[in-house]
Amino acid sequence: MLSDFGIVLLFLITGFVFVALGLITAAIIRPHNPNPVKQSTYECGEELISGSPWIKFNIRFYVVALIFLLFDVEIVFLLPWAVVFQQLGWFAFIEMAVFVLILLAGLAYVWAKGDIEWEKPKPYIPSLKDLVVERKQHFAE
Amino acid sequence: MIDQFIIELQKSISLFKPEATLAVTFVVALIADLIFKKSKNISGYISLIGFIVTFYFLFWQKGQNYGTFTQMLSVDPFALFFKFLILLTSFFIILMSFFSKELYINNRSLGEYFSLIAGMTFGMFLLVGANNLIMIYLAIETMSISSYILAGYTKEIHRASEASLKYVIFGAVSSGLMIYGISILFGLTGTLNLFEINNFIANNNVNIYALFFSVFLILAGIGYKISAVPFHFWTPDVYEGAPITITALLSVASKAAGFAVLIRFVKAAFIDNTQLDSEGIWILISNIDWRFIIAVLSVLSMTLGNLVALWQTNLKRLLAYSSIAHAGYMLMGVAVMTDAGVTAVMIYFASYLFMNLGAFFVVTLLANKIGSEDIDDYKGIGYRAPILGVCMVVFLLSLTGLPPTFGFIGKWMVFSAVLESNFIWLAVIGVLNSVVSLFYYVKIFRNMYVRGVEENENKENYQFHPIAIIVLLLLAIPTILFCLYPGPIANWAAASVGIFLG
């Protein structure tokens, strides 16, 4: 007699055994000759970012993700509405228009505040003047 | 079937006008700030107008008792009382914000600030009427997310950002606990509607340990909002770091919303509502004695709040601990689980609104002049700012609960409700705590009037904006007036204990 949770337990056990078996078999069979390239983390063919992973990265990624989420959720609400739209009629249309308008106000806000401008970080190119100043400081010391 | 649904929906929407007004206020205030960039306060004025319109719609809701949106939100006298309190608080907070110097640093406009206050008020309105566990969770999040941003609104000030971050982290943990509790309760009963949960527990055998565990987790989420010990750890840091106006808003409005949802949750889900006692004593349906658990939380809150407040030197931090203690007093009224207890909590909140907002407004105005909230910097200030000094004494006396003030009526009602239900030990602890609290409140006006008089003798008096003084008097006069004439508020609260019950 298996209860509903018994099945879940069986699945869990099977899952663990499956992974463990695979790893153990591989450890027994595979040849063992590591080198630095092999041991580096695979990052889709990109060059690795070396050093500590605790680096600062630009906050605009968060902003873009948040804005994306807003409109992603909008779709989730629009879809069931569209399915029953014909039965509900004008009332539902006005309700949804209000909802979309509120979201549009959000977009207008984000736009006006300049949060969807993708500012590229400007690379620092030293000019001759800067170099001269730097040199002078160096000699002054 | 769909026709019926639409009729239901239209009735619900007609009862949803106050909340809808707040939502519109939020959006309009935000957009107005974008259009009129020159004016710093435009969205503040729009919020004030929006709040007045909301007041108007609230008056029309009088006497309604209906579960709108298929019993998601109830519109009943109980919710109405708390909605009035919350709206009045937000109204005063916006008025206070115009006079707070710290908000206007770097010459910035306060568009988001005012519109977020409207958004937070919207969340609290939903919370006081929520009948469904998911609705409770959603409303708590609407309220919390606005308050996280507001707590760190002056992001140039280091301690404000710190406060905001701490608030977010504690808040995330507690709402995580709460949703975990909700999921267990849903698993036990198969429904999220509070009345159906009540029905299920009354008619079926529910595993008592699982029930206790889930409800305790939900209480943790609500306890975080009302800053009851042991869920209070965020309170001192956030209250100290946040702008003073926001501290006042958190200490009054979000606490009121938390208490409203606590009372509604306990009463709708765990009280036998089929055979209502004529004396207003609630009968529990499960075997767990929630009275004792809430009484213990109450004793912990007031004792810890008062004892730690004794050692504080920063006035905002002191008021934070005192607000924990006040949460303890009010929890006494909930713990006895009678209609008299709930009425007492409602009256206490009405008094707490005036006295606490008033105390924080005095702190705001003085912080503008002396740039500090330290009690030692208040030496002799009672002579340099006479009106503020006198008002502060009134508010502090009221917070202590001494007779010529509204705070006395609130405390008196709570204690008499506790004694009526034979919780004598609880009342004794409450009275002892009030005595302890007298010490640190007196410490403040000792600094204002007794110490450092010579140093300040020849200095000029501080000048305050006349409207600021009027707002202050609007808070101070009711604090005294409602002690002499508490009838209307007491009657209104007694008439408003009725909760919509399915």
In this model, does residue B212 exceed pLDDT 70?
yes
CA B179/CA B497 separation, integer angstroms = 28
For the whole model, what pTM was predicted? 0.85
Residue B55, min C-alpha distance to chain A (Å) = 23
Q: How confident is the model at residue B279 (pLDDT cuts 50, 70, 90)?
A: low
What's residue A2's pLDDT? 66
pLDDT tens-digit series, residues B317-326: 999 999 999 9
Q: How confident is the model at residue B456 (pLDDT cuts 50, 70, 90)?
A: low
Q: Is the CB of A105 less than 8 angstroms away from the CB of B6?
A: no
Q: What percent of chain B has pLDDT over 70?
A: 98
CA B322/CA B306 separation, integer angstroms = 6
Pick the closest to residue B261 from B57, B483, B83 (CA basis): B83
Nearest to A108 among B10, B23, B31 (CB): B31
Contacts of A102 in chain B (CB under 8 A): 23, 27
Pick the closest to residue B384 from B476, B465, B289, B455 (CA basis): B455
For A95, the closest chain B residue by CA position comes to B13
Mean pLDDT across B113-132: 94
In this model, does residue B455 exceed pLDDT 80?
no
Between A118 and B240, the more confident residue is B240
Q: How confident is the model at residue A121 (pLDDT cuts 50, 70, 90)?
A: low
Grouping H, G, I as helix, E, B as strand and the rest as coil, residue B307 is helix
Q: How confident is the model at residue B108 (pLDDT cuts 50, 70, 90)?
A: confident
Mean pLDDT across B174-196: 92
Q: Are B325 and B305 in contact (CB under 8 A)?
A: yes
pLDDT tens-digit series, residues B142-158: 999 999 999 998 888 88
What's residue B272's pLDDT? 79
What's residue B7's pLDDT? 86
Contacts of B10 in chain A (CB under 8 A): 91
CA A35/CA B27 separation, integer angstroms = 60
Q: How confident is the model at residue B457 (pLDDT cuts 50, 70, 90)?
A: low
Residue B31, min C-alpha distance to chain A (Å) = 7
Q: What is the interface pTM, i.e. ipTM, of the complex?
A: 0.71
> How many cross-chain Cβ pairs, A to B, lie less than 8 Å apart?
18
Q: How confident is the model at residue B116 (pLDDT cuts 50, 70, 90)?
A: very high
What's residue B58's pLDDT? 93
- Distance of alpha carbon B165 from the chain centroid: 21
CA B155/CA B164 separation, integer angstroms = 9
Grouping H, G, I as helix, E, B as strand and the rest as coil, residue B281 is strand
What's residue B101's pLDDT? 85
What's residue A51's pLDDT? 67
Domain segments of chain B as ranges: 289-502
Pick the closest to residue B461 from B373, B388, B371 (CA basis): B388
Pick the closest to residue B484 from B402, B400, B405 (CA basis): B405
pLDDT tens-digit series, residues B359-393: 999 999 998 888 888 888 888 888 888 889 999 99
Whether B30 has its CB under 8 Å from any CB of chain A: the answer is yes
Q: Is the CB of B34 less than 8 angstroms away from the CB of A108?
A: yes
Grouping H, G, I as helix, E, B as strand and the rest as coil, residue B238 is helix
CA B92/CA B86 separation, integer angstroms = 10
Q: Are B352 and B346 in contact (CB under 8 A)?
A: no
Please name the residues in contact with B497: beta carbons below 8 A apart, sequence gap of 6 or more: B77, B78, B280, B339, B342, B343, B346
Pick the closest to residue B194 from B487, B502, B472, B466 (CA basis): B502
Q: How confident is the model at residue B349 (pLDDT cuts 50, 70, 90)?
A: very high
